Amino acid sequence: MDALRKNIWLLFLLLVLSSTVLLISISVSRWNSLTEYYRVSQQGLAAQWFGAFSSILEQQEVILSLMGEDLLLRGADRPEDLRARLDDLMNLNPDFFSGFALISPQGEVLERTSNLDSDVTNILDAPEVRDSFAYALETDKMVLGRTYLTPRLVVPARKAIRNNQGEVIGVMTGALSVTGADGYFSQGHVLGRFNRVTILRSRDHYIQYATSDALVKNFHEQPMPPSAYGNLMQILQDVSEPASSGARSGLTSTAFRWDAGEERGMVRGVAIYHPRYEFWLISEIEDAFLIREFLEIFASYLLVLLAFTVSMYLLFRYIDRIEKGRRRELIFQANHDALTRLPNRNYLISTFDEWMHEKPAFSLLFIDLDSFKGINDNFGHSIGDGILVELAKRFRANTSHNELLVRHGGDEFVFLTAGSDRDQNEQRAAALIYQACDNIRAFNMTFSPGCSIGIARFPEHGAQLDELLRASDIAMYEAKKKRNSVASFRPSLEDHYLQRIRIEQLLRGAEERGEIYMTYQPQIDAAGQLHGVEALVRWRHPELGLIPPDQFIGVAEQSGGMGKLGNYIIDQSLGQIQTLCQRYKMQFKLSINISVRQFAEADFAEDFLKKLKNVGMPVHAVCLEITENLLIEDLEHFRGVLQTLHSAGVRIALDDFGTGYSSLSILRDLPIDELKIDKSFVSNIMSDDTSLKMVKNIINIGRIYEMAILAEGVETEAQRQILTDCGCDLFQGYLFARPMAIDALEKYIQDEASKPGPNVSIHSTT
Ligand code: C2E
Ligand code: CA
Ligand code: CA
């Protein structure tokens, strides 16, 4: 189709060319048939004229011979009734003949028909007659005289009458009237006004007769100029092949074309020569007429061609436009994302060179929506799509010509921004992005998805798109750690990144290889008794050694391995603790940390309750620790899951309380049983007044909502004292015990049980 588009105008040109060629060839053939038509018509006409004129002349010659002989040879005497007999003869053909006369060889008029009342007694006195009369005396045949006006135009014919000795004894003359109502040629038809028939005398080049009005007036007075006559004769001789036989056998018509002078221009016609009466019968048509006639036809052809060309042009233009539109659309599609209509990766790749060459420095922001997968999973893809579309619309509305926004994939966007002040640009871009993420409405719901932004700079962090993308991606992962934040690339992140990649690879299958195991950290109540344990996961790699959960939980979450790891943690903890409880016939609480990713999985609550049932652990003995950050991601969904668990009897603890974004309204809304004061507050509680205030606040909030308060990271007795004074119920920290493996925990329980005194005691279920 592309080739077609390229060639469509070539095709059009070809069409125009071939139709022009067609027009030319049709026109040429039309011209040929037109000239052929007029040639044949003229030929017929000339033959008709020639035949008719010849036969009347032959007839006249017979009449003149018979009449002359009759009048002159019968006796020496002239008959008395000579005039009466001439009159009789004339009356036989009153239409054609305008008179007869008998003339002596000396030119004296012996007798004439009574209609010819002339005082001419010797015709040799008339100069126009002299030549032909003299010629008549010399020859045997009838001789035509020059046409003259009497007042009608007449053609005189003379025939010398000879005695037995061959001497001329008189000349019989008859005048053929050629014009007028009953003139011989008055009936002579021509093809039209454009056609002229001429009878040209070959002896003296005078015109015997011509049909053209313009010439009729005086054609008989002047001979044809010798040069013109010569030219015409030359041409008639040169036309080697006679066009065809004339009407009468033995006579040939010759088609010719000659330059008839300025007035008439080129003329074409047919000529027939009469050798006896020595005249040319010529039918002519001016080329100008033929050209005019042809142009009329040609104009209609041209009009048709033009109409055809114009309609073809319109059609081709239409096709071309459609094709161009299609191409534009295809190019657009190839370079844009179908959902958001934003430029896509392809576009980024194809325009990146321009950015590199035109902008000395710019920043690339890699934007990744936090927990967009959760939105898709829980609300359906149409809502996810709606959010993306709205987000793209908002982004687009605020980007300037110095910026480019690209949908890089799923919930990832790339934002290029250039300008002199880079810090300011980056801030502007980040602010724009966060604004765009705020309060997006989709299907009557409002979402404010968080997003993590990684920034890399050209050219410091990479001279190629790949390098920049990688650097910004690394920075983005750094931002992801905190979620909903911005991080700029710095070389040290690269090490983290590489390590992260390494951890991701090594972590795969670590559960099966037995590298993952659980530790438990006791939680102590105000009375110093074991309240419960928090399950904390450990990974011991054969080469890397012990890797802290901070380093691999995030990796598992981001690489999609958290579901499996989380299940392993749950199974291990439930199994081990339940075994322990059964062995010692006692009951204490088990707290398990649950990652966002686990919560996002479908049927998490149902699966968890099933596991409890399978192990045989009482529902109220389990506490799930969730972080505040989990709540900002997708509150609606988590509320449902928490509600299910809570109504089944599972306790819910809010971990790291005070470090995140959760508001009081969230607390009121959710079924939370326990708040965990983050260890950062606890470690500063002695030195920092704000931390102390914060701790007091948390405890107050817990009271209001009737939640248990657990302080974690308690390392000193002093800390415990203050916390106790503030009203804290539960404690966890190195002051009491470090996290320990299950056999160590078993020993811990035994030790604690055997310890006397009120410090720590174990609730026994028995
Ligand atoms: P967290 O839930 O806040 O866990 C408490 C962390 O504080 C644990 O670190 C614990 O060893 C440490 N800790 C307890 N008492 C003290 C103390 O007195 N002083 C100090 N300095 N630290 C104390 P750990 O085990 O390295 O875990 C770090 C984080 O990793 C946890 O913070 C939790 O967010 C995550 N994590 C650990 N285990 C799991 C798990 O099984 N599942 C999930 N999803 N996350 C886990
Ligand atoms: Ca925890
Ligand atoms: Ca914590």
pLDDT tens across 283-312, in order?
999 999 999 999 999 999 999 999 999 999
At 558 the pLDDT is 81
Residue 332, SS3?
helix
Ligand 1 touching residue 630 (CB < 6 A): no
- Distance in Å, CA 500 to ligand 2 centroid: 22
The backbone torsions φ and ψ at residue 413, rounded to the nearest 5 degrees and listed phi first, read: -125, 150
- The arithmetic mean of pLDDT across residues 254-266, rounded, is 86
Q: What is the DSSP string of 691-720?
A: HHHHHHHHHHHHHHTT-EEEEE---SHHHH
Ligand 1 touching residue 626 (CB < 6 A): no
Ligand 1 touching residue 537 (CB < 6 A): yes
User: Cα 510 to chain center, whole Å?
Assistant: 56
Q: Is the pTM of this model over 0.75?
A: no
* 323-to-98, 311, 332, 482, 722 alpha-carbon distances in Å: 85, 18, 14, 51, 80
Return the ligand 1 atom nearest residue 734 CA: 18
At 500 the pLDDT is 83
Ligand 1 touching residue 550 (CB < 6 A): yes
Note whether 590 and 533 are within 8 A (CB).
yes
Taking alpha carbons only, the member of 271, 223, 264 closest to residue 246 is 271
Ligand 1 touching residue 478 (CB < 6 A): no
Residue 90, SS3?
helix
User: Cα 213 to chain center, whole Å?
Assistant: 67
At 244 the pLDDT is 46
Query: What contacts 680, CB < 8 A, 6 or more positions away?
Result: 659, 691, 713
- Distance in Å, CA 551 to ligand 2 centroid: 15
Ligand 1 touching residue 535 (CB < 6 A): yes
Ligand 1 touching residue 286 (CB < 6 A): no
Return d(Cα 224, Cα 282) in angstroms, integer.
Answer: 14
Note whether 335 and 344 are within 8 A (CB).
yes
- Distance in Å, CA 532 to ligand 1 centroid: 15
Ligand 1 touching residue 102 (CB < 6 A): no
- Distance in Å, CA 651 to ligand 2 centroid: 13
Ligand 1 touching residue 549 (CB < 6 A): yes
Return d(Cα 220, Cα 519) in angstroms, integer.
Answer: 143
Q: Which of 593, 594, 678, 720 to mutate to test the pocket of ligand 1 (most atoms within 8 A of CB)?
A: 593
Residue range 183-199, pLDDT digits in tens? 677 667 888 888 889 99
Question: Where residue 634 falls among pLDDT bands split at 50, 70, 90?
Answer: low
Question: Where residue 765 falls among pLDDT bands split at 50, 70, 90?
Answer: very low
**Ligand sitting nearest the alpha carbon of 546:** 1
Element (H, E) at 665: helix 664-669
Which range is most confident: 423-437, 661-675, 743-757? 743-757
Ligand 1 touching residue 733 (CB < 6 A): yes
Burial class for 105, CB neighbours closer than 10 Å (0-12, 13-18, 19+): middle
List the strands of the sheet with 362-369, edge to edge.
403-409, 412-418, 362-369, 451-458, 486-488
- Distance in Å, CA 625 to ligand 3 centroid: 8
Residue 155, SS3?
strand
Ligand 1 touching residue 255 (CB < 6 A): no
Ligand 1 touching residue 658 (CB < 6 A): no
The reply to whether omega before 151 is within 30° of 0 (cis) is yes
- Distance in Å, CA 505 to ligand 3 centroid: 27
- Distance in Å, CA 536 to ligand 1 centroid: 6
Element (H, E) at 270: strand 266-274
Total length of the chain: 766
- Distance in Å, CA 552 to ligand 3 centroid: 16
Closest protein CA for atom 10 of ligand 1: 739
Ligand 1 touching residue 521 (CB < 6 A): yes
At 480 the pLDDT is 83
Decide which of 400 and 647 is more confident: 647
Residue range 39-90, pLDDT digits in tens? 999 999 999 899 988 988 998 899 888 888 887 776 555 666 778 888 887 8
* 301-to-34, 295, 719 alpha-carbon distances in Å: 15, 9, 109
Residue 126, SS3?
coil
Residue 495 tokens read as 């090490």
Alpha helical stretches, state H, 362-490: 372-379, 381-398, 422-436, 465-482
Return the ligand 1 atom nearest residue 656 CA: 3
- Distance in Å, CA 735 to ligand 2 centroid: 17
Using the structure block, give the residue that is written with the tokens 């209509």: 341
Query: What contacts 118, CB < 8 A, 6 or more positions away?
Result: 109, 112
**Ligand sitting nearest the alpha carbon of 550:** 1
Residue range 406-440, pLDDT digits in tens? 999 888 999 998 877 778 877 877 887 888 888 88
Return the ligand 1 atom nearest residue 676 CA: 3
Ligand 1 touching residue 405 (CB < 6 A): no
Closest protein CA for atom 45 of ligand 1: 593
Question: Where residue 660 falls among pLDDT bands split at 50, 70, 90?
Answer: low
Ligand 1 touching residue 715 (CB < 6 A): yes
Note whether 120 and 156 are within 8 A (CB).
no
Ligand 1 touching residue 628 (CB < 6 A): no
Residue range 140-163, pLDDT digits in tens? 899 999 888 777 788 889 999 988
Note whether 475 and 371 are within 8 A (CB).
no
Decide which of 365 and 86 is more confident: 365
Note whether 449 and 440 are within 8 A (CB).
yes
Ligand 1 touching residue 155 (CB < 6 A): no
Question: Where residue 759 falls among pLDDT bands split at 50, 70, 90?
Answer: very low
The answer, yes or no, to whether residue 667 has pLDDT greater than 80, is no
**Ligand sitting nearest the alpha carbon of 534:** 2
CA-based angle 663:665:666, to the nearest 5?
70
- Helix, strand, coil abundance in the chain, percent, nearest 5: 50, 25, 25
Lowest mean pLDDT among 26-35, 77-86, 241-250, 643-652: 241-250
Ligand 1 touching residue 287 (CB < 6 A): no
Question: Where residue 758 falls among pLDDT bands split at 50, 70, 90?
Answer: very low
The answer, yes or no, to whether residue 249 has pLDDT greater than 50, is no
Return the ligand 1 atom nearest residue 595 CA: 44
Return the ligand 1 atom nearest residue 549 CA: 30
Return d(Cα 144, Cα 185) in angstroms, integer.
Answer: 16
Question: Where residue 95 falls among pLDDT bands split at 50, 70, 90?
Answer: low
Provide the angle, in degrees to the nearest 10, between the axes of the packed helices 372-379 and 381-398: 140
Return the ligand 1 atom nearest residue 735 CA: 18
Ligand 1 touching residue 546 (CB < 6 A): no
Decide which of 247 and 757 is more confident: 757
- Distance in Å, CA 586 to ligand 3 centroid: 26
649, 655, 658, 662: CA torsion to nearest 10: -60
Ligand 1 touching residue 597 (CB < 6 A): no
- Distance in Å, CA 226 to ligand 2 centroid: 133
Ligand 1 touching residue 337 (CB < 6 A): no
Residue range 574-597, pLDDT digits in tens? 999 999 999 999 999 999 999 988
At 223 the pLDDT is 87
Decide which of 75 and 247 is more confident: 75
Ion ligand 3: residues, Cβ under 5 Å: 655-656
